[in-house]
Amino acid sequence: MVKTLSKTSTCEMCGTDIYGRPIEIKIEGAVLSVCGSCAKHGKRVDSRPKRIVRPTVQARTVSKPRSPTPRITPSTPYRGSVGGGTGELVSDYTERIRLARQKMKLTQKEVSIQTKISTAELQSIEIGKVRPTDDIRKRIEKFFDIKLTEEVVRPSAQEMKKGTHIQTLGDIVVIKKKSEEK
Q: Classify residue 50: in a domain, yes or no.
A: no
Q: What is the pTM of this model?
A: 0.42
Q: Is residue 27 domain-resident?
A: yes
Residue 109 within a domain: yes
**Residue 89 shares a structural domain with residue 141:** yes
Asked, for residue 157, whether it belongs to a domain, the answer is no
CATH at residue 146: 1.10.260.40
Per the structure, the count of domains in the chain is 2
Beta bridge partners of 151: 87
- The chain-wide mean pLDDT, for the chain, equals 75
Question: Is the domain of 32 the same as that of 86?
Answer: no
Looking at the predicted structure, is the pLDDT value of residue 70 above 50?
A: no
pLDDT in tens, 117-175: 999 999 999 998 999 999 999 999 999 999 988 887 766 666 666 665 566 676 666 65
User: Is residue 54 one of the residues assigned to a domain?
Assistant: no
**Burial classification of residue 109, based on how many CB atoms lie within 10 Å of its CB (0-12 exposed, 13-18 middle, 19 or more buried):** exposed
Quick check: is 102 in a domain? Answer: yes
CB contact at 8 A, 111 and 98: no
* Straight-line distance from the first to the last Cα atom of the chain, in angstroms, rounded to the nearest whole number: 103
Domain that holds residue 135: 79-152
Residue 1 domain-assigned?
no
